[in-house]
């Protein structure tokens, strides 16, 4: 099992079976976290408020995201039920903004 959350105003922390801290800071503090099971998470720090986490793609692991309540610094994502071999952090990425007709 691993958890993923924001830390302070400059990092994303992975804890559990994998322990790592990724430096993500500045006015555009945002990253995509990719996990070996296929899970992709968008993690960002709004101008005001706690770190936010939103699933972009669900992998084989069970994923739950606990939303931060008042006074907490970050949402917390938990992945369990499937071994996670690695976690990667991408600070820049591109996505297709056009609708594709898959007819």
User: For residue 40, is it within any domain?
Assistant: yes
103 found inside a domain: no
Mean pLDDT for the stretch of residues 77-81: 98
pTM for the full model? 0.87
Q: Is the residue at 95 inside a domain? A: no
pLDDT at 10: 86
Residue 31 has pLDDT above 60, yes or no: yes
Mean pLDDT of the chain: 90
In a domain, residue 100? The reply is no
- Domain of 20 in residue numbering reads as 2-90
Structure-model confidence comparison of residues 58 and 9, the more confident one: 58
pLDDT at 3: 98
How many structural domains comprise the chain?
1
Domain membership flag for residue 96? no
Residue 98: inside a domain? no
Which DSSP string do the residues of the chain spell out, in sequence order? Answer: -EEEEEETTTEEEEEESS-EEEE--STT-EEEEEETTS-EEEEE--SSS-BEEEEEE--SSEEEEEPPPTT-SB-EEEEESS----EEEES------S-----
More confident: 48 or 92: 48
């Amino acid at each position: 099992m691993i958890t993923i959350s924001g830390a302070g105003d400059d990092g994303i922390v992975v804890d559990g079976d994998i322990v790592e801290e990724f430096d993500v800071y500045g006015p555009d503090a945002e990253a995509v976290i990719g996990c070996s099971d296929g899970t992709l998470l968008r993690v960002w720090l709004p101008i005001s408020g706690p770190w936010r986490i939103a699933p972009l793609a669900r992998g084989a692991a069970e994923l739950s995201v606990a939303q931060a309540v008042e006074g907490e610094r970050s949402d917390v994502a938990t992945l369990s039920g499937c071994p996670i071999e690695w976690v990667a952090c991408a600070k820049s990425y591109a996505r297709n903004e056009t609708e594709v007709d898959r007819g």
